[in-house]
Structure 1
Amino acid sequence: MRKIDVNQLEEGMILGAPIVDSEGVVELLSRGTKLTKRHIALITQMGPMDIFILEHEDEAFEEIEMNVEDLAQKAKADGKAFDLEKLMKDLDEIDQHIYEPAQRSLVNANMEVNILTGEFDLPIDVRHEKTIEDNKKIFTQIQEDGVLDLNRIRKNVEKTLPDMVRNNDVLRRLNQLKNSDDYTFEHSMRVSILATMIGKWLGYSQEELVELGEAGLLFDIGKLNIPDFILKKPTQVDLEEYELIKKHAQFGYSILLKTKGVSSNIKYAALHHHERMDGSGYPLRLRENQIHDYAKIIMVCDVFDAMITDKPYKKGISPILAADYLSWSSGKLFDSKVCYIFIKKLSEYYLGKKVKLSNGQEGTIVFIDGNYPTRPLVRVGNDFINLIKDRSINVEILE
């Protein structure tokens, strides 16, 4: 296995280590992936990073061993606070868990859409400012004393639910949330909104939508057990640090397991949200119907938001490119039913949007082909560019 730069990527290369988002949490391409033009376009838009590839197809994968004592030494050398004793205790606790199969299957979901309406059309962050601030206080409380007030979370979800699902314009809803210096909290809020919107489109009852909204807020709670010097690292995490980050799904399950009143659906949403349909995910390497359906929804929302969100040191990629990634990963990494309904609804609001093409031209989306919702027809002056025919061009929404 050797390390290369983004500009050295070539079709046919095989990843020796996964490609993850800038937070080092969301795995976008797993090790063993044979790179295509689409993969390379995605990686290139993500910016500079270390990439590990196999020297030849038969090369064995290098197993990365996580040594927490080494991490502690690294933290000490960098002058970072690190509670080694607590981390060892947390790791020991999740090693003792017995993970039972999930009891809920997406194949039973009713596709008839239930419409919920909210009052007025105020942005979410204006109408529910106090509720959002209260959710942030709950997250702070968990971090400070390990106590999760589930009743407050539930009441807050019930308050915001009608407005969270009222408008189907996905990007507008996400843009209504203020940027926060707490990425974990902000990301969880955005995932909660996306998940409840998808749940509505899949025909979930109001009770299920409340539970799904709670799951969206709490799915990443295990990140609170990952040392800040790793989780908030301003540069790409190394492979050993990534092995520790991957434990956050189990940490989250463990926290929720000890919290009174948390349903098994919410626990499994946290535990399974990094699993993938083909078994390439983590931590349990589950496949298809072994994965809880809340997690199948949340994993799509998690990846989409992580890809499009700007970070202090890195700009997010185009929502259309992120949706394109979901499209060509549908059925392999992500549930095809969830991807279909999400991309379909998302693309309905592309029409008329001003865009910038990767070749530098600017134009307007004038037509969406339902069979290729992420490859629109763009008008540039008096010319029309069909992105279905020209897949070398990517598109970024300007408004």
Structure 2
Amino acid sequence: MRKIATSQLEPGMILGAPIVSNDSMIELLSKGTKLSKRHIALISQMSIEDVYILDHAEELDESVEMDLTDLANRAHTEGKPFDADKLQKALDEIETHVYEPATRSAVNANMAVHVLTGEGNVPIDVKHEEALLDTKKVIENIKDDGELDLDRIRRNVEETLPDMIRNNDVLMRLNQLKASDDYTFHHSLRVSILASMIGKWLGYSEPEILELAEAGLLFDMGKLHIPEFLLQKPGQVTPDEFELIKKHAQFGYSILLKTRGVSNNIKYAALHHHERMDGSGYPLRLRENQIHDFAKVIMVCDVFDALISDRPYKKAISPIMAAEYLSWTSGKLFDSKVCYVLIKKLSEFYLGKTVKLTNGDVGKIVFIEENYPTRPIVQVGEKFVNLIKERSINVETLM
């Protein structure tokens, strides 16, 4: 296995380590992926500078071991706080868990949804600042005492949910949110909004949408056990660092397992949100119907928001390109129905938008073919660029 610059990537090369989105630590392309032109375009758009490539297929069988001593030494060298004993205790605890099969949620896709629509057009984090600050405080308290006050989380979600889902233009809603230094909480809030919207579009009942919103806020809390310097590391993490980061799904499940009143839907959303439909995910390598319904929604929201969010060491990609990534991984990595409803609903708000294309042209979306919602026709001056035919061109920015 060797590390090469992104500029040297060629179709047909095989990844020797996962492509992970910086900060959010989401596996976008798994180890062993045979790279295509689309893969390489995605990697380039995200400003990833280098990746690991396999020279021989048999290298896929090589396992990666975590070394906490080495990690502690690196943390000490960089002057970063790292409590190895506390982390080892958390690792020991999740090793004792027996992971039972998920209890599936019963969802009627044709069920009418009766949820308050809210009023006005005030951003959620302005209108509900007190509730969101309280939610953030509850989650931060887990670091100190290891306990989660679910009742406070639930009260705050019940207050904010009607305004989360009242407008189908979810991109407008996400863009309204002010930037936050606390990426993990801000990301969870955005996932909660996206998941609630998808639940609404899929016909979930009101109690299920409330529960899905709670799951969106709590699914990533296992990162509280991951050393901060790893979550903030610029560039791609090493394979052994990623092995530790992958434990956060089990850490989150462990915290929720000890919290009274947490439903199986929320527990399994946390445990399964990095599983993938083809079995390439983690931590349990589950496939298709083995993965909980809530997790199928959360994983799509998690990836989509990570892709469209700017971070200090990661360039955001456009919502249209993020939707295209979901489109060509739908059914393989992500649930087809969840991807379809998100992509379809997003496309309803693209028409008339000004965009910048990856070839530098700026124009306006004038037509969207129903079967190709991520490949619009863009008018640039007097000419029309049909992205269905011009496959090498993508929408770089929605303006």
Shorter-chain TM-score: which interval? over 0.9
1:150 alignment counterpart:
150
Pairing 1:381–2:393 present: no
1:36 alignment counterpart:
36
1:94 alignment counterpart:
94
1:243 alignment counterpart:
243
Q: In structure 2, what is the Cα distance between the partners aligned to 1:268 and 1:310?
A: 28
1:305 alignment counterpart:
305
Contact 2:48 2:236 in 1 (8 A): no
Q: Secondary structure at the match of 2:366?
A: strand
Q: Secondary structure at the match of 2:373?
A: strand
2:259 alignment counterpart:
259
Q: Secondary structure at the match of 2:375?
A: strand
Q: CA RMSD in A?
A: 1.4
User: Where does 1:25-64 land on structure 2 (aligned, <5 Å)?
Assistant: 25-64=25-64
Which one-letter code corresponds to 2:365 in the other structure?
I
Q: In structure 1, what is the Cα distance between the partners aligned to 2:167 and 2:395?
A: 24
Contact 2:13 2:34 in 1 (8 A): yes
Structure 2 gaps of 5+ residues are none
The percent of aligned pairs where both chains have the same amino acid is 70
Which one-letter code corresponds to 1:231 in the other structure?
L
Change (3 A) 1:60 1:313: closer
2:176 alignment counterpart:
176
Q: In structure 1, what is the Cα distance between the partners aligned to 2:162 and 2:129?
A: 15
1:68 alignment counterpart:
68
Give the CA deviation at 1:185: 0.3
Q: In structure 1, what is the Cα distance between the partners aligned to 2:61 and 2:24?
A: 20
Contact 1:113 1:202 in 2 (8 A): no
Q: In structure 2, what is the Cα distance between the partners aligned to 1:150 and 1:323?
A: 33
Contact 2:274 2:281 in 1 (8 A): yes
Q: In structure 2, what is the Cα distance between the partners aligned to 1:339 and 1:28?
A: 15
Task: Decide which moves more: 349-358 or 233-242.
Answer: 233-242
Q: In structure 2, what is the Cα distance between the partners aligned to 1:64 and 1:36?
A: 25
Give the CA deviation at 1:233: 1.8
Which one-letter code corresponds to 2:242 in the other structure?
Y
Q: Deviations over 1:261-298 (max 9, x none)?
A: 11111000000000000000000000000000000000
Q: Secondary structure at the match of 1:385?
A: strand
Using the size of structure 2 for normalisation, the TM-score is: 0.97
Pairing 1:315–2:319 present: no
Give the CA deviation at 1:138: 1.5
Q: Secondary structure at the match of 1:82?
A: coil
Q: In structure 2, what is the Cα distance between the partners aligned to 1:386 and 1:84?
A: 54
Give the CA deviation at 1:112: 4.5
User: Where does 1:97-246 land on structure 2 (aligned, <5 Å)?
Assistant: 97-104=97-104, 108-112=107-111, 114=113, 116=115, 117-246=117-246
User: Where does 1:289-368 land on structure 2 (aligned, <5 Å)?
Assistant: 289-368=289-368
Contact 1:112 1:201 in 2 (8 A): no
Contact 2:20 2:236 in 1 (8 A): no
Q: Deviations over 1:172-229 (max 9, x none)?
A: 1111111110010000000000000000001111111111100000000000000112
Change (3 A) 1:95 1:26: same
Which one-letter code corresponds to 2:295 in the other structure?
A
Contact 2:277 2:287 in 1 (8 A): yes
Q: Deviations over 1:328-349 (max 9, x none)?
A: 0000000000000010001110
Which one-letter code corresponds to 1:326 in the other structure?
L
Which one-letter code corresponds to 2:95 in the other structure?
D
Structure 1 moving runs of 4+ over 6 Å: none
